[in-house]
Structure 1
Amino acid sequence: MPVDQVSVPLTKDQAYALVDAVMERDDLALTASAHEDESTGEWVFQATCDSPPDLAAFRELARQVLGAELEFAVDPIDPEVNWVAKSLEGLAPVAAGGFYVYGSHHEGPVPRGLTPMRIDAAQAFGTGHHETTTGCLEAIDIVLKRRRPRAMLDVGTGTGVLAIALAKRTRTPVLATDIDPVAVRTAVENAEFNGVGKLVHAIEATGLSHQTITRNAPYDLVVANILAGPLMALAPAMARVTERGANVILSGILEHQARGVINAYGRQGLVLVQKLQRKEWSTLILEQR
């Protein structure tokens, strides 16, 4: 299927606001992101869409969200190239929370004292390099120093990096879910390669109503690295599947969105214990009270 990339230069705040708005819809783009062009210092909004993209819808959304008239550039993407994987090739290893995340291209030794995880670039989110993932790994390390969980859930698992981290550190089964079947397959493959294939059970699921999720509830540790909007929508269900005293780690939250997420979960009895800040991204550690 032909795929196009839609882009437009914006300010940082505008770019992230448009990403949030696009990702709250399921009819505009396959993915959306914002990044800073290192050569110009300019921030750019990008979205990957089925070809041809609905530019009129993008312009209308920009008017609603930004109050601006924008002209989007469209560039075709070679369908034979996995651009997600290609853009991530050669990334340096990442150390966070006592974990060491590296790709198969890395030939150096794993530093002593760190838990190694080989996560290759793939068509799924989560190689350990994004601030949301490193924030979650650090939050996991903090929580595991306080408790030994018996029932764990990873929502929006992507490559499975967080579920694998939990399984390797605790040697306890983890249920991992994602709405994307490609992500589920990737998580299974990564778990097997990292020696925890029998501990990580990955399923395709939307939200928290899947029977496998409810059958294994309540959980005493949940991690969810997705987006602020979906996280807030999940707050009531998250309260239902967690037990008193449970910890919930949330990420994929921009700094200016954190208060809204904290309030949404606070109304469900999940209160903030600690907030980690990595650049413009927040990771929250909550407790069910």
Structure 2
Amino acid sequence: MTTTWKLSFSVPLATAEIFADTLRDAFDPECQAVATAEIEEHITWSVEAYYEIRPERAHMEKLLSGPSAESGYTIDDLLIEALPEINWVAKSLEGLAPIQTDRFFVHGTHDVENLPAAKIPLLVDAGEAFGTGHHGTTLGCLRFIERECRRRHPQNALDLGCGTGLLAIAIAKLTHRVVTASDIDPIATRVTGENARANRAHPFIKALTAAGFGHPELTARGPYDLIVANILAGPLVGLAPAVAQHLAPGGTLILSGILAEQEQMVTSAYRAQGLFLVERLPLDEWVTLRLAG
């Protein structure tokens, strides 16, 4: 994880923006963000700047000498410090309530003592990859997976753009068949493997790192009678020919990551490949689609 460096100091209210503008406009070093905040009402303000690379003290003192001369104020509390390495994705999702569907109970480690007996538990803690069940796109896919597995028993499924691997693990739990899970991001495929082990589903998950179908094993393991792709509308449209090529005759396609206003664009792209909308599930501003040939 990248360390973030913070530079901070306090100045009189009237000079705060002069110093802040100097930091914002500097190219060496280039800051990620600058913030000012009131410390003492109408008197003293703090100025903070954030950097990916540690700023050198002597260089920053020289940079700030300009606004010091302009304002007549000399900084006497300049501080440069490394911020704690915090995974803000995980931090923001800590303590989220579990999600329940007809068959599944999606939860974090903090809820392992509260598992309902009638549900299939899916343990996914917030982390570096997308997909904890709380987003409308992931939830929509889970519900369609449940419906599909009630309708028939998929024998060879693919989770394309697997993120945390939640959807692949859900399919494996329902079918007890090996599910292929692929993602362009190697962090996602690593996390998928970790989550598969945490859910005791690792014998049924084959994780591959690939852009689209750009891995020979993805082709070798096909065709797939169920493909789930929870990515974004643009990539879904671009992948339409390859997805249609790797979907088995009579197979089912579940698509999500689609905003309601993008639905027509996506369905048109797949209609051109001979795949037609069977069912749609809107959740918030997102829509999940089930298609078949």
**Under TM normalisation by the shorter chain, which class is it?**
0.7 to 0.9
What's 2:244 paired with? 239
What's 2:261 paired with? 256
What's 1:31 paired with? none
Q: Is the 1:117–1:194 Cα contact (8 Å) retained in structure 2?
A: yes
Q: Does 1:115 align with 2:120?
A: yes
CA distance in 2, matches of 1:198, 1:87: 31
CA-to-partner distance for each residue in 1:31-68, whole Å, 9 max, x for gaps? xxxxxxxxxxxxxxxxxxx959xxxxxxxxxxxxxxxx
From 113, 131, 148, the equivalent of 1:126 is 131
After TM superposition, the structure 1 stretch with the greater mean CA deviation from structure 2, 258-267 or 109-118, is 109-118
Q: Is the 1:132–1:281 Cα contact (8 Å) retained in structure 2?
A: yes
Deviation of 1:96 after TM superposition, in Å, equals: 2.1
Q: Is the 1:94–1:102 Cα contact (8 Å) retained in structure 2?
A: yes
Deviation of 1:198 after TM superposition, in Å, equals: 0.6
One-letter amino acid of the structure 2 residue matched with residue 194 of structure 1 = N
Q: Does 1:225 align with 2:254?
A: no
Task: Return structure 1 stretches of 4+ with deviation > 3 angstroms.
Answer: 1-4
Q: Is the 2:3–2:85 Cα contact (8 Å) retained in structure 1?
A: no
From 76, 85, 110, the equivalent of 1:105 is 110
Give the TM-score taking structure 1 as reference length.
0.73
CA distance in 2, matches of 1:179, 1:107: 31
Q: Is the 1:136–1:162 Cα contact (8 Å) retained in structure 2?
A: yes
Structure 2 portions without partners, runs of 5+: 6-50, 54-81
Equivalent residues in 2 for 1:190-201, closer than 5 Å: 190-201=195-206
Deviation of 1:215 after TM superposition, in Å, equals: 0.4
CA-to-partner distance for each residue in 1:194-248, whole Å, 9 max, x for gaps? 1110100111110113101100111000000000000000000001001111001
What's 2:151 paired with? 146
One-letter amino acid of the structure 2 residue matched with residue 181 of structure 1 = P
What's 1:280 paired with? 285
CA-to-partner distance for each residue in 1:102-138, whole Å, 9 max, x for gaps? 0001154222321111101110001110000110000
**Quick one: percent identity of the two aligned structures?**
49
Q: 1:78 to 1:136 in 2, by over 3 A?
A: farther
Q: Is the 1:97–1:139 Cα contact (8 Å) retained in structure 2?
A: no
One-letter amino acid of the structure 2 residue matched with residue 151 of structure 1 = N
Aligned length: 220
Q: 1:181 to 1:3 in 2, by over 3 A?
A: farther
From 85, 89, 93, the equivalent of 2:98 is 93
What's 1:215 paired with? 220
Q: 1:234 to 1:78 in 2, by over 3 A?
A: farther
Deviation of 1:280 after TM superposition, in Å, equals: 0.7
CA distance in 1, matches of 2:103, 2:155: 21
Q: Does 1:82 align with 2:87?
A: yes
After TM superposition, the structure 1 stretch with the greater mean CA deviation from structure 2, 100-109 or 160-169, is 100-109
What's 2:66 paired with? none
Compare CA radii of gyration and give the structure with the larger one. Answer: 2
Deviation of 1:2 after TM superposition, in Å, equals: 5.1
After TM superposition, the structure 1 stretch with the greater mean CA deviation from structure 2, 240-249 or 108-117, is 108-117
Q: Does 1:269 align with 2:274?
A: yes
Structure 1 portions without partners, runs of 5+: 5-49, 53-76
CA distance in 2, matches of 1:203, 1:118: 21
- If each structure's helix is expressed as a fraction of its own residues, which one has the higher value? 2
What's 1:174 paired with? 179
One-letter amino acid of the structure 2 residue matched with residue 102 of structure 1 = H
CA distance in 2, matches of 1:209, 1:3: 35
Q: 1:223 to 1:153 in 2, by over 3 A?
A: same
One-letter amino acid of the structure 2 residue matched with residue 201 of structure 1 = K
One-letter amino acid of the structure 2 residue matched with residue 183 of structure 1 = A
